[in-house]
Each structure stands twice: as structure tokens, then as C-alpha cells.
A and B are shown apart, each in its own frame.
Chain A
Amino acid sequence: MLELAHIRKTFNPKTVNEKVALDDLSLRLNDGDFVTVIGGNGAGKSTMLNAIAGVWPVDSGSIVIDGVDVTHLSEHRRADLLGRVFQDPMTGTAATMQIEENLALAARRGQRRTLRPGITRQERSLYRDKLAALGLGLEDRMTAKVGLLSGGQRQALTLLMATLKKPKLLLLDEHTAALDPRTAQKVLELSEQIVMQNGLMTLMVTHNMRDAIRYGNRLIMMNAGRVILDISGEEKQRLTTQMLMDAFAQASGESFANDRILLA
């Protein structure tokens, strides 16, 4: 379970660039919820994910993941609860390290790093199987530097790293936005497959309304730092992009005039 209670975050407080990014945001996810998150630019979608991940401390409110109050834990100390995939394919992996080394780093998330071997033989064969399951041929390139991979391959690898140690919550932050449509589709399908197989509680930010409707069992829409729409179950299955746009206009009092979302 994830519980966000009354989260506030203001960037550049008391300056001309002051921006209230999260405004009394509250949200509750149940175990196994696969929630897609949509909203215009600056709605606070990524900010919410970063707050959960602990990239910076929130101004007020509390964050509880699986019964653990992580509000005041630094980013690396709550990493064991989380799996994360980022928008930029460069962010999720270490380019100058090998594919198997990246996986080995992820396999030790939440453990004390000691003088034990950085990677073992059993691990290698496990990684080979997991990489083969991606269907990208990466199992034959395990000692290649990650920097040699394409954006899509890197996102698939990051996804595998994020879920290698089963996280309590998976955070997908527009993880297909930087990919070409066909690759994006593949990575999305792969994401759904991994989420379903492991029954992962997931928050997936997307700019694509159709994807937001197609994937997951619940959809939330954000605007101005809070949740303005929360639809799940059968109601979600009947959603159309037009309904979402109308709902946005109604809830926010402005029309959904964001090109990226309209076109998506």
C-alpha cells in the first residue's frame, strides 16, 4: 500500500520563480494497483514520483510505502522499496559499465555493499535467462557496455533492473516518451507483462491518453499539483479520450489545450 497524505512542495520559495508543484496532494494505492497518471505540463506528475522516490524532501505531508514511513528517509535509503524507470534512457543505467554489472548493481538494491564479489556465476546465468525473456538479444551481449545500447534497449534493461528485486512500488516516469512509437509500444507491453506477472503496485506517468486508458486498472488525472480525477475498475474500461478531455475541462475549469496530449 502507498499512502500520500497532504503533500506540499514548492520550488524556489519566496522568489519570482516560486512554483507550487504539489498542493495538498493525497493519494492512496492498494497492493496490486496499476495506476496510470496523466495531466498537462507542470501538473505535478513527475514531481509526485520524485517526491515518492525522495529526490528531495517534501515541505509537508507524509509518504508511507508498505507500512514504512519514508517521508524523512534519503533517496538511497528508500530505494529498496522502489523500482524506477526514468524518461531519459540515459538516467536509469550506468553507460560505462557492462550490462551484467548494471543488473548486479540492481540486484543489490537495499543491501549493504560489502567486499563480496560484485557479480557471481549463478547471477550471470540468472541474468542471461531474464535478458533472454526480453527478446532483444541482450543475453548474448552481457559484457557489452550499456552505452552501446539503443534507447529502447536501455529502457528495457532499466525495467528489468527496477524489477529484478521485486519492489513494493514501481515508478514509471514517462519511460517511453523518448522512444520512437514502435519501440515505445514494445517497452509498454513489456512493462505491462512484468507488472502483471509480479502483481506490482505501479504508478505510470504518461503523456499518451490512449495508453493511459489501455493500461492499468486505475487512472488518475492531475492538475496544479493535485489529483482532479480518479477512475478505476469498469468505469475506466469504458473511458474514451474525449471523456477524459471533457472531465479535465469540467474539473479544472479550463480546456485541455495541450498539444502533446491532444495529439497523443
Chain B
Amino acid sequence: MNISSLLNALPGAVAQGLIWGIMAIGVYITYKVLDLADLTVDGSMATGGAVCVMLMLNGVNPYLALLCAVLAGMLAGLVTGVFHTAMGIPPILSGILTQLSLYSVNLAIMDFKANQGINVTKYSLIVSQRNVRQLGFDNPIFVTLIALAVLIALLYWFFGRELGCALRATGANEAMSRAQGINTNIAKILGLMISNGIVALSSAMLAHYQGFVDVNMGRGAIVIGLAAVIISDVLFSRLFRNFALKLTGVAIGAVVYYIVIQIVLWLGLNTNLLKLLSALIVAVFLAIPHWKAGISARRAGKGGGLHA
């Protein structure tokens, strides 16, 4: 356990955290803005990479392949949205159904192989693990930061528009939204599409970064996304009130998550236990507001007794 091995691993953790930060922003849009827990992401977190890598292996320009990945993710979101709105299936179940079907779809995209590699020496990758310690414009940390800045700026712009406001209203109060003439079904579908498009973008970039796509790379993605959202809530809820800052906070949350994971691994945790650890951490943080409410309610009850 020497500290230099941890320090060595940090740039990788930061790069990975930033890429997952893009995905966490996608989760933020469904979970916080639309108030829906969307489990589609566990599937679309592999779909984006699969589409991007397979297109590139077939000679498509990497940026075009990235765009197609985003569109594929949006399609996945559309399916979940239709399950939920047109077919009346509860949102969580809708997401699970899409996620499950995406497993087969992803395999089909990947020529029915569990993973597909893309060689950094043969293909021009937008981000690559190989450059993570190099100073320069092809450093994945630098590239991902730019991508995040553009993404956050776009989302900030969009959610200040009429359509974006309608989406936020739908998440805040559906009855009120309908009374104000908002088609809440369309709003939810649109939100799910945007969210999964962003997740697929993150997936494609992660595939570039690690040099391969794996059909299982999205497993537990929703938990990582939630972890980032919650970490950002805990760290920045008082500090970041503006929407753009909140999204930035979520990306930072993902980086913090990956650094923590790196430290835990460095302390000697078995890699196979990571998902258990992540789930427990997220469960505890999700419980905190509930516990807090319980405690303050009990205190209020006692206080009331004294003042009566």
C-alpha cells in the first residue's frame, strides 16, 4: 500500500469519473427534473458504446458514430417513454423492460459477441486511456471537460426555453402542468429521450476511453448515476442553486465517486465486491433524508408536548 500507486491511479479515476459524470447528468434529468427513476440507463449505457464502436469498425467517422450513439440512446428512451405513457406501465417497470430488451439488442449490434475491441493505434479515438497522463489536447480529461461544458451549456439553455420549462413543470406537478395545457406524456417521453441520449454519449466515450465495448458495461449504471447525484446533493446543495451549477455538481459527484472507489481499491477491497459497496453507500445516502425527517418529527412532537 504505497501512496504513489494511488496517486498514479488518480488521473484515470478522474477521467473515468468525468465520463461517468456525463451519464450522471442524464440520470439527473430523469431522477431530479422529471422525478422518474429510469432504469433504462443500465441498457443504454452499453448501447451507445456498441453503436459507436461497431460503426467505427465499419469505417464511419468517429464524430458521426458518436452522434449515432446518441440517437440510439434517444430511441431507447423513446421506447421506455411509450411503455410508460401510451401503455400505462409504471416508470420503473418500463425502464426494466427496455433495459432487459436492450441486452439482446446490444448483443445484436455487437455481432452477438459479448465485447468488441477498438484499437487506439488503428482508429482515431476521441478519448483514450492511453493519453491520460499526457499533457495536451488529446488528454481525455481535457476532452471530457470540454464535452461536459458544452453539454451543460446546452442543457442550461434548453431548460430555460418554453419546452424545457414544460418538462420541469411536468416533473414538479403533473396536475398543474396539464391544467396549464402541457402534454405531460410528451414531456416525459422527451425527457427520457434526452436523458438516454446523454447516457449513450457517455457510453460511447467510455468505450473510446477503455478501447472496447462490453455488453455488461452498463450494469449498475443507475446506481453510479444516483451516487453522483446524491454526492453532489450532500456536498453542494447549499452552494449550487443555479441549474448549470447543479449539473456541474453532479459531474463533480461522479469524479468524487470514482476517487473514493479508487481509494477503497487501494486499501485492498476485492474488485468483485465494488457493486455491493456502491449499492450500500447509495442506500444509506438515500435513507438519510428519511431518517432526518423521522428525527425532526420526533423532536417536534416532544417540543409540542412541552409547549402545550
Interchain nearest-CB distance for A159 vs B (Å): 13
The reply to whether B172 and A96 form a contact with Cβ atoms under 8 Å apart is yes
B 169-184 binary contact with A (CB < 8 Å = 1; else 0):
1011101111111111
The reply to whether A106 and B180 form a contact with Cβ atoms under 8 Å apart is yes
Interchain nearest-CB distance for A252 vs B (Å): 32
Interchain nearest-CB distance for A124 vs B (Å): 13
Q: Which residues B148-190 have CB closer than 8 A to chain A?
A: 158, 160-166, 168-169, 171-173, 175-184
A113 to B176, CA, bound (A): 16
Chain A residues whose CB sits within 8 angstroms of the CB of B160 once the complex forms = 117-118
The reply to whether A94 and B181 form a contact with Cβ atoms under 8 Å apart is no
Q: Which residues A65-112 have CB closer than 8 A to chain B?
A: 74-77, 79-80, 82, 84, 86, 90-97, 101, 104-106, 108-111
The reply to whether B180 and A108 form a contact with Cβ atoms under 8 Å apart is yes
Chain B residues whose CB sits within 8 angstroms of the CB of A104 once the complex forms = 165
Interchain nearest-CB distance for B4 vs A (Å): 46
Q: A76-B183, A115-B161, A118-B160 are in contact. Are A94 and B169 (CB under 8 A)?
A: yes
The reply to whether A93 and B173 form a contact with Cβ atoms under 8 Å apart is yes
State which of A79, A97, A119 has its C-beta within 8 Å of the C-beta of B179. Answer: A79
The reply to whether B163 and A115 form a contact with Cβ atoms under 8 Å apart is yes
In the complex, the chain A residue whose C-beta lies closest to that of B35 is A96
Q: Which residues B169-213 have CB closer than 8 A to chain A?
A: 169, 171-173, 175-184
A90 to B161, CA, bound (A): 24
A-B contact count (CB 8 A): 85
Chain B residues whose CB sits within 8 angstroms of the CB of A53 once the complex forms = 179
A161 near B: Cβ within 8 Å?
Answer: yes
The reply to whether A108 and B169 form a contact with Cβ atoms under 8 Å apart is no
Chain B interface mostly: helix
The reply to whether B181 and A97 form a contact with Cβ atoms under 8 Å apart is no
Chain B residues whose CB sits within 8 angstroms of the CB of A182 once the complex forms = none
Chain A residues whose CB sits within 8 angstroms of the CB of B178 once the complex forms = 75-76, 79
A14 near B: Cβ within 8 Å?
Answer: no
A114 near B: Cβ within 8 Å?
Answer: yes
A92 to B176, CA, bound (A): 5
Interchain nearest-CB distance for A119 vs B (Å): 8
| Chain B count of residues within 8 A CB distance of the other chain | 23
Interchain nearest-CB distance for A66 vs B (Å): 16
Chain B residues whose CB sits within 8 angstroms of the CB of A105 once the complex forms = 165-166, 169, 177, 180, 182
A199 to B182, CA, bound (A): 26
A116 near B: Cβ within 8 Å?
Answer: yes
The reply to whether A95 and B181 form a contact with Cβ atoms under 8 Å apart is no
Interchain nearest-CB distance for B148 vs A (Å): 22
| Chain A count of residues within 8 A CB distance of the other chain | 34
State which of B161, B168, B175, B181 has its C-beta within 8 Å of the C-beta of A91. Answer: B175
Q: A91-B176, A93-B176, A94-B172 are in contact. Are A116 and B162 (CB under 8 A)?
A: yes
Chain B residues whose CB sits within 8 angstroms of the CB of A106 once the complex forms = 180
Chain A residues whose CB sits within 8 angstroms of the CB of B166 once the complex forms = 105, 113
Q: A76-B183, A79-B178 are in contact. Are A94 and B162 (CB under 8 A)?
A: no
Q: A114-B162, A115-B162, A116-B162 are in contact. Are A97 and B180 (CB under 8 A)?
A: no
The reply to whether B169 and A80 form a contact with Cβ atoms under 8 Å apart is no
Interchain nearest-CB distance for B169 vs A (Å): 5
Chain A residues whose CB sits within 8 angstroms of the CB of B180 once the complex forms = 79, 105-106, 108-109, 161
In the complex, the chain A residue whose C-beta lies closest to that of B161 is A115
The reply to whether A113 and B162 form a contact with Cβ atoms under 8 Å apart is yes
Give the most central of A84, A113, A118: most B CB within 10 Å: A113
The reply to whether B168 and A108 form a contact with Cβ atoms under 8 Å apart is no
Interchain nearest-CB distance for A50 vs B (Å): 11
Chain B residues whose CB sits within 8 angstroms of the CB of A79 once the complex forms = 178-181
Interchain nearest-CB distance for A121 vs B (Å): 13
Interchain nearest-CB distance for A61 vs B (Å): 22
In the complex, the chain B residue whose C-beta lies closest to that of A106 is B180
A106 to B176, CA, bound (A): 10
Q: Which residues A104-150 have CB closer than 8 A to chain B?
A: 104-106, 108-111, 113-119
A111 to B163, CA, bound (A): 11
Interchain nearest-CB distance for B105 vs A (Å): 31
The reply to whether A91 and B173 form a contact with Cβ atoms under 8 Å apart is yes
Interchain nearest-CB distance for A256 vs B (Å): 31
A68 to B165, CA, bound (A): 28
Interchain nearest-CB distance for B111 vs A (Å): 39
Chain B residues whose CB sits within 8 angstroms of the CB of A82 once the complex forms = 179
The 10 closest A-B pairs by CB, nearest first: A79-B181, A94-B172, A118-B165, A113-B162, A109-B181, A75-B178, A113-B166, A94-B173, A96-B172, A113-B163
Could you list some 25 contacts between A and B, CB below 8 A? A76-B182, A76-B183, A76-B184, A77-B183, A79-B179, A79-B181, A84-B179, A86-B175, A92-B179, A94-B168, A94-B169, A94-B172, A94-B173, A96-B171, A101-B165, A104-B165, A105-B165, A105-B182, A109-B181, A110-B181, A113-B162, A113-B163, A115-B158, A115-B163, A117-B160
Known interface pairs A79-B181, A97-B172, A115-B163; 7 further A-B residue pairs with C-beta atoms within 8 A, sorted by A's residue number: A76-B182, A92-B176, A94-B177, A113-B165, A115-B158, A117-B161, A118-B164
Binding site for B on A (CB under 8 A): 53, 74-77, 79-80, 82, 84, 86, 90-97, 101, 104-106, 108-111, 113-119, 161
